[in-house]
Structure 1
C-alpha cells in the first residue's frame, strides 16, 4: 500500500484515549492533531517529550500530518541533548511540562483545541488523514545499553505493518476494543509501538497515564475499562508482585525490554489470572516475534519476517523490516518461523576458557532470595597484560556481601564470582528498566576509585 490511515477506528465517536478528564473520542483527537499541526514551528525535527501519553500521540500525529519527523532519544541527559542538536540543528521541543533544554520550545496541553474538537464532533463527516507509507515518521535511537546511541529512521508504512502484525498476534483485531495501560514511556521504541501506535491501528484506546509505582499501576488498572492490556517490563512486574497490593487484573499482559525469567512469568499469570506474552525485537528492526513464556521457550516470528545467518551473524529481513538488519543477539534458528534466544552477543564472556553470558549471571544473582535487583558488569579491557574482572551490583536490603557471595558460589562457576560485589540502595535503571552501559561504567569507575565498605 502507498499510504495508511492515521487511525483505524470506524466511527468518529469511538474512544481513542482515556485522560484525566475522561474518555477522548477520535473526533477530538483528529481536531487536536490538525490544530497542533498548523501551529508547529518551521523546523523539520520534533523532540516530543510530552509526558501525557495522549498529548504525545497528538504530537506524533501532528508531526506526521505536517511532514515533520519525531525524534525519540533514549534519555534526556544534557549529553544526549547535545547529540540530538548536532544530529538535527533545526530541532524544536514539543512539551506539556516546562523543560530546561537549550532548544526552541512549543508548549502544548491540548486545552486550546477544545472548541475545534466540539465543532468536529458535531460534523457529519469523518475525515481520517492518509499518510504516505514512505514518509519518515520517526527517528528512534538505540538505548545505549551496549554503547553510543545510534539513529534509526522509521517509515510510517513500516511502523504500521509492525503494529498491525502485533495486534493480530495478540488478538486485538477480534472486534473487542482494548484499553491499553503502559508503565513504559511513549518515547521508547517498545512504548511507542505498543502503547501508542498499537491503539491507533487496532481500534483500541490508550491510557494517557504513565504509572510507574505499584500503587499508581493498580489505580490506573482499576480505572481502565475491560478488556485491558497491560504493557510493561519484567522489572515493573517484579516490583508490582512484591508490593503485596490488591492488583486489578488486566485481561492480557505484554512485556519487553529484557528477557522474562520463567519463574516470574509463572508468578505473574498465577497472580493476575491473565496470559503473559513477551515481545522480541530491537530498535533497529522493531518487533519481530512473540512467545507465551509460561508455555514455551521458543519465539514465533511475525508473518513475512525471516531470519538468516550470514558473515557469522543472524540477520532479520522481510515483513515490516524494510532492509536486512543484523541482530545483536545469539539466536538459534529452529525453523523458518521459530528460534531460541541465547542472549546478547556483546554479553558473552570468556574467562579462563570458560564461557557464560551476563544474562545468565544476572538471572542467577536475581534468583537469590532477598535480592531485589542485581546486575553483573564486565569492564572494558585496556591492555593484554592485566586481568579484567567481573563486577556485580546488587540491591539486597539486610544482606551482607559475604552472604550474597556464598549464595552465588552455589549457583555459578568460581571464575565468574564478581570482584567486587557492591551493595547499593538502587541500580541506575532508566524508565524502561534498562541499565545503559555508560551508567554501569560510571558506577563501576566510581567504586573502583573510591572503594566501598560494602564491596568484597
Structure 2
C-alpha cells in the first residue's frame, strides 16, 4: 500500500543518471540518456510552426513530441477530445498549428507530422528548455461550461510532480506507471508522463483497456507497477479472477471512488486505492486513501482558503497565481477539506437538497448495476438510466436505505451502454442525446 507523507517534497534532480530506465517502449527499456537523444533528434525534424496538436496515442511518442516541441519553442495543445470538429474549432484561435501523431488524420487537408521514434542508440545530455514560458495549453472538458484554455509551464509540471510523488510515497522508488487514461487528459499527463520524467518512476508507453490485458501487463512488467486508473475501470477490474502479484499501488481520479468499490478493489487486487484530486486548471493537489480517510489532504506546498462569499481558492508552490475552485468545499482547521459538490450538481425537491454525484455513487454501489446515472427532468422529478440485469423494484430497494424518498428515481430507463469518454467521465453531449431519446 502506498503511504502518504506530510514532509515537504524534496527537490528531485531532473537528470540524475543517464543510464537509469525512463520508459518501457515497445517492450524495450529506454534509458534517460536515450530519451534526451530521441528528443533532440525529433526536435530537429519538427515543422517550423508555433503550435502542435499532440495526438500521439503511444505514450512514449507523446512524451517525445511534447518535449521536442518545447525545445523548438512550440506550444503543445491538448484538446479535450480527439474529434476533428474539436480540433478545427481550436485551430481558429491557434493559427499555424499542426497535428503530430503516428498516422494521418481522417480528415484530409490538415497539416500533420508523422511521429516516428528516432530510437537513438547513444545517450545524450538534456537539451535547453524554457522552464517559465508556456509549454502546454490544456483545455477543460466543458463539463462546467465552454472548454477553456489552461496554459502551464514546464516549471509548473516539475514542481507539481515533485510534490505529488513525495506526498504519495512514490519518491525514490523505481516503479512502472501504467495508466488507463490518455496522455492528452491532465490526469493521464501528470501521472504517466510528468511523474516519471521528474522522479525515478518508469513510463509505460501503452494504454491497455480490457481488464485481463491490464492484469497481464502488470504481471509481466519488469518492475512492480502502480496503476493509475478510474472508478469506471476499477469496476471492471474487480470482476477478474487472476492474481495481481506485481501490483504495487493504485491511483484513482476523474470521479468519486466509493468506499464500497475501494473495499472491493483492495480485497480483489490486493491494494487499497489512493484518490487524487485536482483539475485541468490546478493539476492534482490533494489525496486521500478512500478506505481510511474522508477529508482530502493537500500536498505539502498547497493550501486552500475561502473569501467572504464562500469561494474557495488554491494557493500552491507550482502555480504562479491562486486559482478559484469549481467545487464547493469545506475547509477544516488542519487544512484538510471535504468536497460538497457544485451548484449545478445540486437538486432540490420538496425543500430538500441532494447532490447528483452522491445519487450516482449510491446507484453504482448497488450489486447488479454495471453502470448508471441519475438526472433531473425539467419538472424537477428524478429519473435514472442504468445498465443492469436488475428490475426497477430491486434498484429502488437498493437505493432506499441511503436516500430520502423524494430522491428515489420515479422512472428508471434500461440501456445497453452509458456514453462515457476515454477517462470514464460522462460524455455530456452524447448523454443529452440519449436522455432526449428516452423522454
Scaled by the length of structure 2, the TM-score of the pair is 0.92
Alignment partners' CA distance in 1, 2:214 and 2:89: 33
Alignment partners' CA distance in 2, 1:269 and 1:130: 43
- Tell me if structure 1 keeps the 8 A contact 2:157–2:190: yes
Among 431, 435, 444, the alignment partner of 2:435 is: 444
Query: Displacement of 1:429 after TM fit?
Result: 0.7
Among 260, 273, 277, the alignment partner of 2:274 is: 277
Which runs of no fewer than 5 residues in structure 1 stay unpaired?
382-386, 449-456
Change (3 A) 1:9 1:216: farther
SS of 2:271 mapped into structure 1: coil
Aligned to 2:258: 261
Query: Displacement of 1:131 after TM fit?
Result: 2.3
Alignment partners' CA distance in 1, 2:264 and 2:396: 26
Alignment partners' CA distance in 2, 1:358 and 1:301: 25
Please say if 1:209 is aligned against 2:215. no
- Tell me if structure 1 keeps the 8 A contact 2:159–2:318: yes
Among 49, 52, 55, the alignment partner of 2:55 is: 49
Aligned to 1:453: none
Alignment partners' CA distance in 2, 1:297 and 1:21: 39
- Tell me if structure 2 keeps the 8 A contact 1:12–1:26: yes
Alignment of 1:360-371 (within 5 A): 360-371=358-369
Alignment of 1:87-236 (within 5 A): 87-101=93-107, 103-110=110-117, 113-114=118-119, 117-118=120-121, 120-121=122-123, 126-174=124-172, 176-236=173-233
Alignment partners' CA distance in 2, 1:324 and 1:33: 33
Aligned to 1:337: 335
1:121-176 residue CA offsets vs partner (Å, 9 max, x unmatched):
3xxxx5223423212111111122233211111111111111110111122223x3
Change (3 A) 1:34 1:288: same
- Tell me if structure 1 keeps the 8 A contact 2:12–2:162: no
Please say if 1:16 is aligned against 2:14. no
- Tell me if structure 2 keeps the 8 A contact 1:348–1:358: yes
Aligned to 2:399: 408
Alignment partners' CA distance in 2, 1:399 and 1:274: 30
Alignment of 1:264-343 (within 5 A): 264-310=261-307, 311-343=309-341
Q: Which consecutive aligned stretches of 4+ in structure 1 deviate over 6 angstroms post-superposition?
A: none
SS of 1:16 mapped into structure 2: strand
- Tell me if structure 2 keeps the 8 A contact 1:286–1:321: no
SS of 1:321 mapped into structure 2: coil
Query: Displacement of 1:187 after TM fit?
Result: 0.7
Alignment partners' CA distance in 2, 1:411 and 1:305: 34
- Tell me if structure 2 keeps the 8 A contact 1:393–1:421: yes
Query: Displacement of 1:246 after TM fit?
Result: 3.1
Please say if 1:390 is aligned against 2:396. no
Aligned to 2:3: none
Query: Displacement of 1:402 after TM fit?
Result: 4.5
Query: Displacement of 1:213 after TM fit?
Result: 0.9
Alignment partners' CA distance in 1, 2:334 and 2:133: 31
- Tell me if structure 2 keeps the 8 A contact 1:6–1:130: no
Please say if 1:84 is aligned against 2:90. yes
Alignment partners' CA distance in 2, 1:290 and 1:258: 13
What count of residue pairs does the alignment treat as equivalent? 427
Change (3 A) 1:245 1:278: same
- Tell me if structure 2 keeps the 8 A contact 1:218–1:248: no
- Tell me if structure 2 keeps the 8 A contact 1:9–1:202: no
Alignment partners' CA distance in 2, 1:413 and 1:152: 39
Change (3 A) 1:335 1:133: farther
Which runs of no fewer than 5 residues in structure 2 stay unpaired?
1-10
Change (3 A) 1:173 1:269: same
